[in-house]
Amino acid sequence: MSHKVLVVDDQFGIRVLLQEVLEREGYQTFLAHNGTTALDIVEEENPDLVLLDMKIPGMDGLEILRNLRKRDRQTKVIMMTAYGELDLIQEAMEMGALSHFTKPFDIDELRHAVNAQLRG
Ligand SMILES: [Mg+2]
């Protein structure tokens, strides 16, 4: 069975780009544009890995991560951040985020990082 990856980002362009790349890699891909949707999908689908944007209106990436950790400790999380969010990145790492990519990221590097986590 293929691994499940959830992409959480408020930007439509990022979501569809990552969906295309991840599906080409053979992953079952889910998309969320906000925290509520993301947590619903986590509940229903139990994804293996979450690509999580830090800056999201409403519930931001850290808050989503905090909520995710309340219900489960297994899900792998990679953060997507903007330049200069070092404090937030630090906090995310303390909550078990595996790594982070600064936008605009190299899509191949991100793809390799996902593959390393799920197939490595
Ligand atoms: Mg954003």
Condensed to tens digits (0 to 9), the pLDDT of residues 12-57 reads 999 999 999 999 999 999 999 999 999 999 999 999 999 999 999 9
Condensed to tens digits (0 to 9), the pLDDT of residues 61-108 reads 999 999 999 987 789 999 999 888 999 999 999 999 999 999 999 999
The confidence score (pLDDT) of residue 53 equals 98
For residue 4, what pLDDT band results from cuts at 50, 70 and 90?
very high
**If you measure from the C-alpha of residue 5 to the centroid of ligand 1, how many angstroms do you get, rounded to a whole number?**
18
- Give domain limits for the chain: 14-114
**If you measure from the C-alpha of residue 1 to the centroid of ligand 1, how many angstroms do you get, rounded to a whole number?**
30
**If you measure from the C-alpha of residue 54 to the centroid of ligand 1, how many angstroms do you get, rounded to a whole number?**
6
**If you measure from the C-alpha of residue 74 to the centroid of ligand 1, how many angstroms do you get, rounded to a whole number?**
24
The confidence score (pLDDT) of residue 83 equals 84
In this structure, the number of other CB atoms found within 10 A of the CB of residue 103 comes to: 14
**If you measure from the C-alpha of residue 110 to the centroid of ligand 1, how many angstroms do you get, rounded to a whole number?**
17
**If you measure from the C-alpha of residue 89 to the centroid of ligand 1, how many angstroms do you get, rounded to a whole number?**
14
Handedness of CA 73, 78, 84, 86 (dihedral sign): positive
Q: What is the pTM of this model?
A: 0.96
State which amino acid sits at residue 116.
A
d(CA 51, CA 69): 15
**If you measure from the C-alpha of residue 14 to the centroid of ligand 1, how many angstroms do you get, rounded to a whole number?**
9
What is the third-level CATH fold of 14-114? Rossmann fold (3.40.50)
d(CA 119, CA 98): 15
Token pair belonging to 32 = 């969320």
The confidence score (pLDDT) of residue 81 equals 95
**If you measure from the C-alpha of residue 61 to the centroid of ligand 1, how many angstroms do you get, rounded to a whole number?**
9
d(CA 72, CA 28): 20
The confidence score (pLDDT) of residue 63 equals 98
